[in-house]
Amino acid sequence: MARKRSTTLAAGTVAALTVLALSAAPMATAQNTRPSAAQSMVVYRVPTHTAEDARTLSAEGFDLLEHRQGSDLFVLGDAREGTRLRLLGFAPTVEQTLPGPTPTPLRPPPRSGQLPTANPDETYYGGYHTVNAHYAHLDQVASQHPDLATVVTYGQSWRKQTGKPNGYDLKAVCITKLTAGDCRRTPNSAKPRFFLMSQIHARELTTGEVSWRWIDHLTGGYGTDKDVTALLDSTEIWVVPIANPDGVDIVQQGGDSPNYQRKNADDANGGSCDLFGQTGVDLNRNAGTHWGGLGTSTDPCSEIYLGPQADSEVENSALEGLFRDLYPAVRGPGDTDPAPADTRGIMITMHSDASMVIFPWGHDRAVHTGNDAALRALAGKLGALTGYQPGQAGEILYDAAGGTDDWIYDKLGTASFTIEVGDSDSRGCSGFMPAYSCQDSYFWPKMKPALMYAATHAPAPYSTTAGD
């Protein structure tokens, strides 16, 4: 669908990223200068030979990128990390040298102290939507489809809650054919719920664009598309398009050279990182489930910094509060305690760009949930629809504790998945920030059938078998 673009943050034509766009050069602070060659950040290709090798990399707190080629993993770091890899017995090679980031100071707040008026056409980097644009889109959809869409504010970002400039509300939209009692924040809903969220890692731009198109597909298709109509007549669809708005704000300030911010903006735990350090907390390592386990770091400047304590970040506590309002707690406390077979609801959190469908447990590949067979079956179907590899995180990528999908399954028993949206067909659309043209030409056609399949299985996800 063609979309009018009347406003951009930075002008210019953006070419497709032709390098392996695993690059994750963090944002610099304004006082930094460009590094010398010896300080350059690189992506290391690290051959692994056993599952224990990947576990070692996770346990040692390396910044493992969400990508794998065969048995090779990829680590972001400077020369010191290369030395550390070699001391551990690995044989890293330089896959890509990243340019030093250009310091990008925060924009000053408007005179009124408020963010600029939201505009759904505000874009950057060739068409990617800003936080304001996403929020204006939600309001626009609710205004145009009052019988279908309800916007919900479920919290505030770290900046806004602490009174810092450029903070945001945390927003979701509930989409269904509205009847009495729909879209209320109560776990005792008449309809089952399907929940989709994106950009908890700010730099993973494709995920927010998939959510945008999913919202339009549902609201635009009701009454004309029989599958969409049947879905919205029977199911509540919840979407959080931007789970980490402060982080996305940092990304978008780079305009046509977006900053590679992964984490949120919370600098209370260490705001003086060197050029390639990145302040903030990794929200996908901060959730209060097996917190402090593999694939996390206690270094506040690390990309995978887990935070000072479990659920310390307001973005996570607000999201988890929303989850508790929407889904009943139906599972016991043990890792192998199953949720009942008749449990309703599915949650999908989108990341990029490993081309995988991941399900709990993410913290330890050796431990299987009590609903493992059903989760594997549903992940297998989603994998078949997308061409993505299904499995637990440690089976196909690496173990990582403190993630969103583990939290909602652990605490509530809700069926949950991470979809790593990636270029599984080698279309030149790989990386965190592919050319914007990839969104309509490649990613949305790939993701739409998978999301429809998952949403239609929200009434009984644990009844799914491999043949469904």
What is the rounded CA–CA span in Å between residue 209 and residue 212? 5
User: Cβ–Cβ contacts within 10 Å for residue 64, how many?
Assistant: 23
**Domain co-membership, 325 together with 398:** yes
What do you get for the CA distance between the two ends of the chain, in Å?
Answer: 31
Contacts of 225 (CB under 8 A, 6+ apart): none
Q: Is the CB of residue 237 less than 8 Å from the CB of residue 231?
A: yes
In a domain, 105, yes or no: no
**Domain co-membership, 51 together with 91:** yes
Catalytic residues: 420
3-state secondary structure of 219: helix
**Domain co-membership, 123 together with 79:** no
Number of C-alpha atoms within 13 angstroms, CB side, residue 300?
14
In a domain, 17, yes or no: no
3-state secondary structure of 39: helix
Amino acid 96: pLDDT = 79
In a domain, 58, yes or no: yes
For residue 245, count CB atoms less than 10 angstroms from its CB and return exposed for 0-12, middle for 13-18, buried for 19 or more: buried
Q: How far is CA 317 from CA 158, 159, 311, in A?
A: 11, 15, 6
Amino acid 102: pLDDT = 41
* Among 68, 97, 126, residue at a domain's last position: 97
**Domain co-membership, 89 together with 138:** no
- Tokens 């629809």 map to which residue? 385
The residue length of the chain stands at 468
In a domain, 401, yes or no: yes
DSSP string, 112-157: TSSPPPP-TTEEETTTEEPHHHHHHHHHHHHHH-TTTEEEEEEEE-
* Backbone dihedral region for residue 413 (phi beyond 0: left; psi -120 to 50: alpha; all else: beta): left
The boundaries of the domain holding residue 345 are 118-468
Strand partners, 152: 172
**Domain co-membership, 212 together with 356:** yes
Pairing of strands 42-47, 63-69: unpaired
Cis peptide upstream of residue 361 (ω within 30 degrees of 0): yes
Measuring CA to CA, which residue among 139, 136, 158, 159 is closest to residue 149?
A: 139
**Domain co-membership, 187 together with 86:** no
**Domain co-membership, 161 together with 73:** no
What is the rounded CA–CA span in Å between residue 87 and residue 205? 35
Measuring CA to CA, which residue among 330, 329, 342, 339 is closest to residue 359?
A: 339
Strand partners, 63: 76
Contacts of 464 (CB under 8 A, 6+ apart): 374, 377, 378, 381, 457
- Please give the structure tokens belonging to residue 86: 């070699």
In a domain, 8, yes or no: no
DSSP string, 76-89: EE-HHHHHHHHHTT
In a domain, 14, yes or no: no
Structurally, how many domains does the chain consist of? 2
Q: Is the CB of residue 290 less than 8 Å from the CB of residue 266?
A: no
Amino acid 333: pLDDT = 96
Q: Is the CB of residue 23 less than 8 Å from the CB of residue 433?
A: no
**Domain co-membership, 352 together with 225:** yes
3-state secondary structure of 214: helix
Measuring CA to CA, which residue among 281, 359, 276 is closest to residue 99?
A: 276
Q: Is the CB of residue 382 less than 8 Å from the CB of residue 271?
A: no
In a domain, 73, yes or no: yes
- Please give the structure tokens belonging to residue 48: 């692994």
Q: Is the CB of residue 246 less than 8 Å from the CB of residue 254?
A: no
**Domain co-membership, 295 together with 379:** yes
Please give the chain's pLDDT, 468 residues, in tens. 333 333 343 333 233 322 233 333 333 332 233 333 345 678 899 999 887 888 788 777 787 777 778 889 888 788 888 999 999 999 999 987 765 444 444 444 444 444 455 688 899 999 999 999 999 999 999 999 999 999 999 999 999 999 999 999 999 999 999 999 999 999 999 999 999 999 999 999 999 999 999 999 999 999 999 999 999 999 999 999 999 999 999 999 999 989 889 999 999 986 677 655 689 999 999 999 999 998 898 989 888 999 999 999 999 999 999 999 999 999 999 999 999 999 999 999 999 989 999 999 999 999 999 999 999 999 999 999 999 999 999 999 888 999 999 999 999 999 999 999 999 999 999 888 999 999 999 999 999 999 999 999 999 999 977 666
pTM for the structure as a whole: 0.86
Query: Domain containing 251 — which CATH number?
Result: 3.40.630.10
**Domain co-membership, 145 together with 69:** no
Orientation angle between helical segments 245-252 and 131-144, nearest 10 degrees? 120
In a domain, 107, yes or no: no
Query: Domain containing 49 — which CATH number?
Result: 3.30.70.340
**Domain co-membership, 52 together with 171:** no
What is the rounded CA–CA span in Å between residue 70 and residue 206? 24
**Domain co-membership, 82 together with 135:** no
DSSP 8-state secondary structure symbol assigned to residue 381: H
For 360-438, list the strands marked E by DSSP: 389-392, 415-420
